Structure formats: structure tokens, C-alpha cells
Amino acid sequence: MSGRILLTISASLLVTVTTPLTAGAFDVFRTEGGIPPTAGGSIVPSPAFCQFGTPGNPLQLHEAVERALCDNPKTRQAWADVKAQAAAVGVARAAYLPNITGNWQGVRDDSVTDVENHPNLSSASLSTIRTESVSLTWTLYDFGARSAALANAVALLEGARATQDATLQTTFIDVTKDYYAAQAASGALTAARDVERMANDSLMAAQVRVEKGMAPISDALQAQTAHEQAEINVIKSEGTLQTALGTLANDMDLLPNSPIVLPAVDTGTQPDEAFSDSIDDLIELTRRTHPSVLAAQSKLDAAESKVAQTRAEGLPTFSLVSKYSRNNQPASLGLGITEFPATGREWYVGFQLSIPFFEGFGRIYQVRQAEAQVELQRETVNEARQQAALDVWTAYQALRTSMDTLKKDAALLDIAQRSFFVSQRRYKGGVGNILELLSAQTTLANAEQQRIQGLTDWRAARLHLAGSLGRLGFDDLSEH
């Protein structure tokens, strides 16, 4: 039988001896210094403020916002993205350091050679062969690929931070909007119950007049109809309130059926003078400093760095290489001669120049793709600026409108209250009629609802304007 038959009794084992570092071991490149300690970013800077028990009774807006900023999945996703991009900066900086790799291999080698008609040339050996090596590779120069990759990672980190700020602003606005909506629904339920009570009083008055023969039975029937409708409105208002409370609980990462009690709609920030800053100045400032604009600009910077990185990766690299290895491979003087124990060693150090002469034209298209991404991101920046300006303009006009409307709502409510009380006295005195009383009752109910909605709309518009400027904070929740 010719040839050599190798029987491997045990599998080869290759071990990389570089010790893996756990995520929290240590931060060599200090990339975690810019990571906010909480998902609330700069608005909720202390982890102590993100420790919550059961919701307050009543739940204040400040607490609702803190819970949402700390626990809402969207804010935590943005926070996790910042962590990931910070780690990517560490990866980019690590490319400047050498790579050292250790390898170990153990093989059980059973080798038999049978030479027909020449037994003196036949041989058999059984040995355990071990090989150990340590190699080093250190890129010394690469025409800017690593620096471009680092610039790309840093820009993406800045973009992630700006995106987190924008997410916090959006969440801040959303939770305050839902809080005020729930508060308005609670106020609407209180108003609906007041209307039901007034309708019941009107019904009682109508029934008294009918019983005394001072009014036809139709008065009592119309008053009863109005009372039934008022009770239906109470039921609908209760459903609207529970839906609004469930939405608010979801913002705070609570179950929608969590018990939440809100303060009365008349408590909290009260109307003041409308925003006095120049709208032109606000728009110009927002186009430069809004977090969404800064995030888009950072991504544009990253895309431009990616172009430089892609070009540089197609250029030569100059590296320092070194390796030391040893093994105990047995030695033999020739075929059929007994093998003898031996130890082999190898060591080298030198330089390596790698030149990518041809890559199938792939590099050209990779650069074109990166340049197209720059063009796309540049338009994204323009879009972000336009949207930020539009948001400021819309929020500014909404605040002015809600402020002027709220003044009229207060006047309307005062007139409606006086009209109802006059109509009620006239009807009980036998002067007025039931249609006049029910009409005044309906007008008063609508005025109360309108005032409640106007107050919450003003509060939401006030915070929406601050949010559209990208500078919402707890100072905007101050009550006075």
C-alpha cells in the first residue's frame, strides 16, 4: 500500500488567547464620559430621579414627565443608541493599536507507512504534536482610512446624542399633551356631572310647575329629555377620561389600567402674556440649534467622513508584523527511519506593504455610493431645517390663538352663567318658559366645556412652542 494514511484520534483545537473584556471592565478610550447617566438625558441627569414607586395621588405633571423621560421605550432606545455609538468610537480608536494573537494547537498523530516487499522501509509512529505561536500586526500608515473611520464614528455619536435630545423633546411634548388631555377629560366629566345636576334641578322645577297646573306636561317631558341626555354625556365623559388616563399611563411605561388621579383642571400653570420674542428670531435660532437639525448635520458630517474612509481603504497600507512559534514535531532522517523527538522554533519581525492593485472596480462604486449618501444627507439637513421652522411658526400661532381664545372663553362663561341663573329664576317664578331655561342650560354647559378645553389647549400650546424650539425643561412646568 503506497502513500501515508493519517489517522487523527482527537480533533485539533485552536484557541485565541487574547483575553475578552466585558462591557463594564474598563473604558480605555473614555468613550462613556459623554453618555448620559439616565434615559432622561440632561433633563433628568440623576439616576436617583428615575427611581419610582406608585404614581402620586394626585399625579403632578412634573412626575409624569420624569416617568416618561426615564421609562418610555422610545427614550430608552435613543439612550441605548448613544451607548452603541460611543462603543463604535472606541472600536475606531482601537484601530490605531496593534493586534496581538496567540494560538495553540494539539494533535494526536498516528502515522503508519507500509512499503510492499520492503518491510525495512515501512514505519509507524504515534505522537502528540503541540504548536504554540504569538503574532503581532500593527498598521503604521494607511493614508487616512483610520482617521476617517474615527471621524465618522464621532459624527455618528454626536448625531445619536442630538437624536436623543430630539426624542426627549418629543416625548416631553407628548406626555404633557396627554396629561392635559386627561386633565381636560377629567374636567369635562366634572362639568358633565354639574350639567346633569342642573338638568335634574330643572326637571324638578318643571315637575313642580306641572303638578301645580302652572305648566303643561310637555315642560316636564322636555326637561326629562334634557336630563337623560345629560346622563348620557356623563357616561361618555367617563369613557373618554379612562381612555385618556390609559394613554397617559402608557407614556409612563405603566399598564393602561393603572390607577391615576389628576389634580383639578383649574390648578397648575395659569394664562400669562403670550410669547413676546420675535418670531423671525425664533425661526432663525431653531434652524441652527434644534436637536433634529443638529442630528441631521452630524449624520451629514459622518457621511462625508465615510467618503474619505472608503477612498483611503483602497490605498496601500504599511504595517509592522512579527511572529514567534514553536512545536514539538518529531524529526526523521528519511522514509522508514525511526522518528526522534524534536523541538522547532521560528521567529520573525519585519514590515509589510499591502497594495490593492485591482478590486474589480468595486471601490469606484463604493465611493459613488458614499457620495450619494452625502447628497441624500445634505437634503435631509435642509428638510430638518424647514420642518423646524414650520413647527416654530405653527406653535407660535397656536399659542397666540389659544391665548386670545381663552380670554373670550372666560367672558362667554361669565355671560352663560348669568344667563342660566336668570332663566332659572324666571322659570321658577312663572315668568320664563322651559325652552328658554333648557337653552340657557345648554349654553352654560358648552361654555364650561369650551373654557376647560381652551385652558388645556393654551397649556399644551405653551409647552409645544418651547418644544419646537428644542429647549424644553422642567422650568417650563413651573406653576404660578
* Cα distance between the two ends of the chain: 101
Helix (H) or strand (E) holding 131: strand 123-141
Return the half-sphere exposure (C-beta side, CA atoms, 13 A cut-off) of residue 71: 20
Rounded CA-CA distance 142/315 in Å is 7
**Nearest one of 168, 61, 177 to 464, comparing CA atoms:** 177
Q: Which residues, other chains included, contact 393 with Cβ-Cβ below 8 Å and sequence gap of 6+?
A: 279, 283
**Which spans in 51-144 are helix H?**
61-71, 73-94
Per-10-residue mean pLDDT for the chain, 480 residues long? 30 36 67 89 88 92 92 94 93 93 86 75 76 92 91 92 91 91 91 90 87 85 90 94 95 94 78 63 84 90 91 90 87 66 86 88 90 93 91 88 88 91 85 85 89 87 83 66
Q: Which residues, other chains included, contact 300 with Cβ-Cβ below 8 Å and sequence gap of 6+?
A: 374, 377, 378, 380, 381
3-state secondary structure of 244: helix
List beta partners, residue 321: 137, 350
Using the 8-state DSSP alphabet, how is residue 339 labeled? P
> How far is residue 155 from each of residues 323, 354, 388, measured CA to CA in Å?
37, 29, 21
Could you tell me the domains of the chain?
59-100+154-318+376-477 (1.20.1600.10)
pTM tops 0.85: no
Long-range contacts of 127-130 (CB under 8 A, 24+ apart): 127/330, 127/339, 129/327, 129/328, 129/329, 129/330, 130/104, 130/105, 130/106, 130/327, 130/328
The answer to whether 180 and 340 have CB atoms below 8 angstroms apart is no
The answer to whether 110 and 126 have CB atoms below 8 angstroms apart is yes
The answer to whether 196 and 230 have CB atoms below 8 angstroms apart is yes
At CA 268, angle to CA 41 and CA 476, rounded to 5? 35
Q: Residue 368: its pLDDT value, please?
A: 93
**Nearest one of 438, 443, 455, 454 to 418, comparing CA atoms:** 443
Q: Residue 372: its pLDDT value, please?
A: 94
Rounded CA-CA distance 285/300 in Å is 20
Rounded CA-CA distance 196/421 in Å is 16
Q: Residue 79: its pLDDT value, please?
A: 94
CA 140 to chain centre: 39
Q: Residue 171: its pLDDT value, please?
A: 93
